[in-house]
Chains A and B, each alone.
Chain A
Amino acid sequence: MKILVTGAAGFIGSHLIPTLLQHGHTVAGLVRFSTTASDSSKRRVARLEALTAQQRDKFQLLRGENLKGLPDLLKKFAPDVCIHLAGRSWVRESVGWPEVYIDANYRFTTGLVQSLHLVGCKRIVFGSTVMVYGKDAPLPYMEDQLGSSPASPYGASKLACEVLLNTFHALHKMEVVNLRLFSVYGPELRQDLVPFLIAAAILRNKPFTVFGDGSSMRDYIEVRDAVAAIEAACVGHETYEALNVGSGFGTSLLELVQLIEKSLGKKAELVYKPAVPGELAVAIPDISLAMENLKWEPKVSIEEGIERMAAWFKSSESPLRG
């Protein structure tokens, strides 16, 4: 299969692309430079460039910035499937900069899906988020029970993307799978994500700030499990307006801190501050719909996943080293 991956230089993209290549797919990775400024993303782009040199016939890197030029950029590769992971995804940042989120998430998705339609791509797998659920959505989250509007502009931008993609299904028969990813973690984790912040505080001997009382609960899914779900969603012709992709288990913030402390062999110093508006207290999914339809199941326990991530934190690849 010819697969286009947006957000190729991102956290999940960097795990997904080698897996897809390993499984015999031909892959094009799309990178946008305005959103890939950090050292780790530069490093990942360099790694992708090396990959193009090694597997010239199987992998290429596409560099796009201008949305209007996107159909031309994609025409030659003519993907069978697009895995759309590009976007900004930091809840707190989105509260202060909603316009940036509209641009990076909603506007980019609009240009992308229209381009895919124009170049005849039949299927799109979209990396949506747990943050589309409203504060009053019943727990565990069921795909058809969204509750009120998302609590953050980030969540709103992702739900708006889901709606747009569903529209392209209704209108053009494009096959759409909206995957609502829960808290994905693992090596190459983004530096604004909680497990990274905890590990960074511990390794740098700095205090870690807990917003709220530490009981806030998330479903942490190891990146290999997320990648497996994404890959499974590329197969077939069914459309799924929404599928929850999580581990199926909740972990509180304090439990997560303890797991990371244990795997790094060092205690964290905790400072407590009031909860941040716009952030959910508990975000736990029912994942049975994804398991049944994608014939997929999460395999990595949180203990094993945290150990593997901790090994990366301590490795020469880690931005926390030294």
Chain B
Amino acid sequence: MNILITGGAGFIGSHASEHFLAQGHRVIALDNFDPYYSPDQKRRNLNVALQNSNFRLVEGDYGDRIFVSKLLQSEKIELVLHLAAQAGVRQSLVDPLKYEKVNVGSLISMLEAMRESGITRIVAASSSSVYGNTTPAPFKEDAPCLKPLSPYGATKRASEIFLGTYNGLHGLKAIIVRPFTVYGPRQRPDMAIAPFTRKILLGETITLYGDGSSARDYTYVSDIVDGLSAAVNSSPADYGIYNLGGEAPITLNDLIKALEKATGKTANLQRTSLQPGDVERTCADISRARKDLNFSPKVRLAEGLEKTVAWVREELRREGKAV
């Protein structure tokens, strides 16, 4: 199958590219190399994929309707795996218009490009942040999700609403996944695990927000890719929303302990108050994904952390910071 992956050079996108190439699909990765975090890191993310002749990297804006329309047609795309987003909960409080543009406005332009190109399938990544602070845990997909805690979460919910509308109005086959706090090699530097690891290894101080009791349902990136793979390959339904979570939420304090164990070093901590926009906990009910997508998270936190720590060590060596 010819698959367009938006955000194909990003953290999840680059892993997904490799996965679908290994399955024999043809992958067109579309990425604008936005400078929200290092474009160099994103280019390195594609080192493996670029060696495959079934892979093509296209640099551009997924919200450019005419450009995307041409791309969809010239590459005979059959399915769009939509992973491009403006991520970052805290920054969304500062510049909500940017999040509106990238996460909603651009999506509508792409959906219109798909419509005029006759492409009827999309698998799109939303976010666990749509649940906000008011949904009872464990989070179920049928919760109303009308009150996220950040503009980031609100824009992801808006994107889900529009995908639902396009399904009803134009017959777009849309599978939406809600990944829960994804971590692993190539993780974005504004998230918790990889940057924490980096600081522990370098002996730098980690700033912890809140009393450490906030909890996250960390999910290893290969498990997320497995979930995406099931959604792409089996097309379980014309429309559906699926949680993809690791099924083992842990508190921030326990995460630090686990990282100390994985690195063999003690973390220097500095505590400050919880940041606006940060939810208290995320916790997925994954029974729907288990049933329809045969989804089952395989990588336990200890193992995932080990792999992440190994990647961070490699990165530090490459930067000449031997640890």
Query: How far, in Å, is A84 (CB) from chain B's closest CB?
Result: 15
Q: Is A110 an interface residue (CB 8 A)?
A: yes
Please tell me if the beta carbons of A163 and B96 are within 8 angstroms of each other in the complex.
Answer: no
B157 surroundings in chain A (CB, below 8 A)? 160, 163
Beta-carbon contact of A110 and B168 below 8 Å: no
In whole angstroms, what is the CA distance A149 to B134 when docked? 21
Tell me whether A102 and B151 are in contact (CB under 8 A).
Answer: no
A86-101 CB contact bits vs B (8 Å, 1 = yes)? Answer: 0000000001001100
A163 touches B151 (CB 8 A): no
Does B5 touch A at the CB level, under 8 Å?
no
A68 to B100, CA, bound (A): 14
In the complex, whether A135 has a CB less than 8 A from a CB of chain B is yes
Whether A151 contacts B154 by the Cβ 8 Å rule is no
Contact digits for B133-176, partner A, Cβ 8 Å, 1 yes 0 no: 11000000000111111110111011011111101110000000
Choose from B65, B97, B105, B163 the contact partner of A102 (Cβ within 8 Å): B105
Residue interface bits B260-301, CB-to-A below 8 A is 1, else 0: 000000000000000011000000000000000000000000
Main secondary structure of the interface of A (DSSP, over half): helix
Chain A residue nearest to B157 in the complex (CB):
A163
- Interfacial residues of chain A within 155-172, with CB under 8 A of chain B in the complex: 155-156, 159-160, 162-164, 166-167, 169-172
Q: Shortest CB–CB separation between residue B107 and chain A, in angstroms?
A: 9
A288 to B133, CA, bound (A): 28
Q: Do A170 and B146 touch (CB < 8 A)?
A: no
Q: Mark B19-60, 1 if CB is under 8 A from A, else 0.
A: 000000000000000000000000000000000000000000
Tell me, yes or no, whether B306 is within 8 Å of chain A by CB. Answer: no
Nearest chain B residue, comparing its CB with the CB of A150: B165
Q: How far is the CB of B154 from chain A (nearest CB, A)?
A: 4
Q: Which residue of B lies closest to A103 (CB)?
A: B105
Residue from the set B96, B111, B154, B167 with the largest chain A CB neighbour count within 10 Å:
B154
Q: How far is the CB of A313 from chain B (nearest CB, A)?
A: 33
Nearest CB to that of A144 among chain B residues? Answer: B144
Residue in chain A with minimal CB distance to B151: A167
User: What is the bound-complex CA distance between A167 and B145, given in angstroms?
Assistant: 10
Is A248 close to B, CB under 8 A?
Answer: no
Is A107 a contact partner of B101 (Cβ separation < 8 A)? yes
**Chain A contacts of B78 at CB under 8 A?**
none
When distances are taken between beta carbons in the complex, the residues of chain B under 8 Å from A277 are: 169
Q: Which of B132, B149, B165 has the most CB of A within 10 A?
A: B165
Q: Which of B151-210 contact A (CB under 8 A)?
A: 151, 153-155, 157-158, 160-165, 167-169
Residues of chain B at interface, number, CB under 8 A: 39
Closest to A172 in B: B276
Q: From A176, which residue of chain B is reached at the shortest CB distance?
A: B147
Bound: A172/B161 CA distance, A? 23
- List, in ascending order, chain B residues with CB within 8 A of A155's CB: 165
What per-residue 1/0 map shows which CB atoms of A242-273 lie under 8 Å from chain B? 00000000000000000000000000000000
A167-B105 contact in complex given A151-B169, A153-B162, A160-B158, C-beta closer than 8 Å: no
Q: Tell me if A241 is interfacial: C-beta within 8 Å of chain B.
A: yes
Interchain nearest-CB distance for A112 vs B (Å): 10
Shortest Cβ gap from B133 to chain A (Å): 7
Binding site for B on A (CB under 8 A): 67-68, 95, 98-99, 102-103, 106-107, 110-111, 113-114, 134-135, 144, 146, 148-153, 155-156, 159-160, 162-164, 166-167, 169-172, 241, 277-278
Using CB atoms and an 8 Å cutoff, list the residues of chain B in contact with chain A. Answer: 65, 93, 96-97, 100-101, 104-105, 108-109, 111-112, 132-134, 144-151, 153-155, 157-158, 160-165, 167-169, 276-277
14 further A-B contacts with Cβ under 8 Å, apart from A149-B161, A164-B96, A166-B147, are: A107-B104, A110-B151, A114-B96, A149-B168, A150-B161, A150-B165, A160-B157, A160-B158, A163-B158, A163-B161, A167-B132, A167-B151, A172-B276, A278-B169
